[in-house]
Amino acid sequence: MSGPGEGTGGEDDIEAGTEAERKMRFLFALRSHGVTDRRVLEAMEAIDRGAFVKGLFAGRAYDDVPLPIACGQTISQPSVVGLMTQALNPGPRDKVLEVGTGSGYQAAVLSQLARRVYTVDRHRRLVREADALFRALGLTNIVTRVADGSFGLAEQAPFDRILVTAAAEDPPGPLLAQLREGGIMVVPVGQSDHVQHLIKVVRTPAGYDYEELRAVRFVPLLEGLAED
């Protein structure tokens, strides 16, 4: 119901929050969850999450929650995207592999920070839609592939950084092998219906160092290509 003085465009805007306010709230939520790296915050300010969330849930694109996307998958929570990106710490000369394109949002954030981003998903439809979005947004340093990412992307290896956005029971061997010495991989590890932990792996001259970052919840890393 609209009473006296209500219902003007201006006041509706204030109630719904202007774009600037929405952006401020979005960045505030990131900071309050520990995303403090200036470059990561700038990248997440530059990439509009609203472009990656379609349909029913579009109105919640700026909330710090995971949301459903096509093929029964999810776009990760922004603060988790921020923390993973921060832990990965990609540099401007880095070649990055992302396993699990999903909506494409995480790859788009990485594209602001790295030289080139290769992103793979087992669902053709997700790769097709993300690829179209990257073109529309002019994100020309992202290369998409339909592939089972547990085997990495041998043709482009080694990678300076590898980010896995689906949970594996262990960090997949081929991904460890495709990580350059001095490189960093961030991967959620654990069974899909249990608590998973975000692990940071650093490849050293002697082998691999593992650090447990925090508890997370991701969809599982599945074998083979999907039907769609």
Which range of residues in 11-19, 26-34, 103-111, 194-202 is near ligand SAH by CB under 6 A? 103-111
Closest alpha carbon to 110 in 96, 121, 126: 96
Least distance to ligand SAH from the beta carbon of 20, Å?
24
Nearer to ligand SAH, 114 or 126 (CB): 126
* Residue-wise DSSP of 90-110: --TT-EEEEE--TTSHHHHHH
Under the binding rule (CB under 6 A), the answer on residue 73 touching ligand SAH is yes
Burial 59-69 (b: 16+ CB within 10 A, else e): eebbbbebbeb
Task: Show Cβ contacts of residue 186 under 8 Å, excluding neighbours closer than 6 positions.
Answer: 84, 87, 88, 162, 163, 164, 198, 199, 200, 201, 213
Selected binder of ligand SAH within 61, 166, 185, 216 (CB under 6 A): 166
Nearer to ligand SAH, 80 or 205 (CB): 80
Task: Tell me, by CB under 6 A, how many residues bind ligand SAH.
Answer: 23
Under the binding rule (CB under 6 A), the answer on residue 149 touching ligand SAH is yes
User: Is position 76 annotated as part of the catalytic site?
Assistant: yes
Task: Show Cβ contacts of residue 115 under 8 Å, excluding neighbours closer than 6 positions.
Answer: 92, 93, 94, 95, 141
Q: Which of residues 107-146 bind ligand SAH (CB under 6 A)?
A: 120-123, 126
Give me the active site residues, please: 76
Q: Which residues bind ligand SAH (CB under 6 A)?
A: 73-76, 99-100, 102-103, 105-106, 120-123, 126, 148-150, 165-166, 219, 221-222
